Amino acid sequence: MSDAQDFRPSVRIALGSPMLAAGVQSVLSGFGLSAAGDADVLIVDDSWLAEPDDLAGASALVALGSAVWATLLPELAGGGWAALPADATPAELLAGVLGAAAGLAVLPPALVPDGPVDDEDTTSSTALTSDVTLTPRERDVLALLAEGLSNKRAARDLGVSESTVKFHVQALYSKLGVQSRAGAVARGIALGLVSV
């Protein structure tokens, strides 16, 4: 790794279902993420609920399945974590892995608390996003990148040419200070520009 912006986390898939594991592996490899024994992110499912303490200290965790993970993971993970439903979309899975690897907590909207946000959190969030201003079209393109769409598919969805989408992708890379689609999505999530 020559540059932190090129960082693509490696994953270790420890799922009880071989079929689900193969599907997750296929989705993540489609996004250019590789599986490794000594990985940055560990992906687990409800089969680990019997012995959740075995996960304690893992640097980054992504749990697929029960909503109970949202209460367990903050105590178990040594870093970022994601609690996702077992039927998470490819975009949600990618966001969970990238968010956890970046040290963030990722939850589906249904599990996000409705309570008030601390003034301290609001201040730091405003400070983070104030240095990045995206046009409405760049926001649209970033959202489609987060869904895992190709430039061609994004162009079709937006009703523009593929060259126009490539132009906006390059503008996103420049504004977000990244050099890859995964980096743009991760930075967008970190800045609150993309919701998953």
Q: Where is the domain boundary, 84, 111, 138?
A: 111
At 94-107, the pLDDT tens digits run 989 998 888 888 88
Q: Is residue 46 domain-shared with residue 87, that is, in the same domain?
A: yes
Residue 184 three-state SS: helix
Contact between residue 181 and residue 169 where contact means Cβ atoms under 8 Å apart: yes
Does residue 143 share a domain with residue 87?
no
Q: Are 57 and 90 within one domain?
A: yes
The last residue of one of the domains, among 64, 90, 111, is: 111
Domain identity same for 42 and 135: no
What is the number of structural domains in the chain? 2
Strand stretches in the chain, DSSP E: 11-14, 41-45, 61-64, 81-84, 105-106
The answer to whether residues 101 and 36 belong to one domain is yes
pTM: 0.57
Domain that holds residue 145: 119-190
What pLDDT, in 10s, does the model give residues 36-86? 777 889 999 988 888 877 877 678 899 998 878 887 888 877 788 999 988
- The overall average pLDDT reported for the chain is 80
Residue with tokens 């301290």: 120
Report yes or no on 195 lying in a domain.
no
Per the CB < 8 A criterion, the answer to whether 84 and 106 are in contact is: yes
Q: In terms of domains, do 29 and 71 share one?
A: yes
